[in-house]
Structure 1
């Protein structure tokens, strides 16, 4: 089974969809509760571009998770922030959001790869989703220079890269 075939679906009571301008405050709240720093202007821009996703409860209609992706290069979608409300963590919602970002990248002919920079304890999470992982800030690191990246090359930060269609350029 390939990583693409293994991409998780959200729980049965959750849908993952593009964020709308009406979701802006909920996206900011979810990210803030996870202590992630993504500014409101970036969220607005990414919602307008279709690169912000929400996980929505089918029961309440409320946002239970959010992902904001930026485009540091024309051929790359970078996961800038992903978070799930504390009460819903461990259900696969974060994985479904990242999988949806991979699908978003694959559906855009200009995008060759999806990248992310994350703490070392999330290595297995990203590897299960098909990301090749290495220390962040390594020379030639594809995720280097994206918004929110740790440019120090700190050993507790990692960079992940997933080719979305085989059209990735070196």
Structure 2
């Protein structure tokens, strides 16, 4: 598995991974993130299959998802680590059930006004 910046040709695969994780995101945001080098993909060893994707909107993680059969293999962690190498600071808003994932990546987490949602920040 390797992590690289997504290319325009990866757009449908990125949207497929996000959809498979039941994440809603704006297609235009994903497209502009790809154009700006802010979308990362984890690909299989042969580079043929997109296993996971992370979409950045400046320094905010708009979405991170991994194909269902590949979860628990460190792919999401690798995507966030690669994003952290590219940004001095990362933020994310996410559901409370994925709090352990963000805590394991050294995000400082706090409640937001929306029930069941959290906000996290990782610096340096």
Query: TM range, normalised to the smaller chain?
Result: over 0.9
Aligned length: 124
TM-score (norm 2): 0.95
- Structure number with the higher strand fraction is 2
Encode CA deviations 1:10-67: one digit per residue, 9 max, x unaligned. xxxx101100111111001100111111122111100011100000001462101001
Match of 2:105 among 121, 129, 133: 129
Q: For 1:35 and 1:128, how far apart are their aligned partners in 2?
A: 22
Q: Which runs of 5+ in 2 are unaligned?
A: none
Match of 1:115 among 91, 101, 119: 91
3-state secondary structure, aligned to 1:22: helix
The CA RMSD over aligned residues, in Å, is: 1.1
Runs of 4 or more, structure 1, over 3 Å off, are none
Bigger mean CA offset, 46-55 vs 30-39: 30-39
Q: Which runs of 5+ in 1 are unaligned?
A: 1-13, 72-76, 107-112, 137-152, 165-170
Superposed counterparts of 1:2-21, under 5 Å: 14-21=1-8
TM-score (norm 1): 0.70
3-state secondary structure, aligned to 2:31: helix
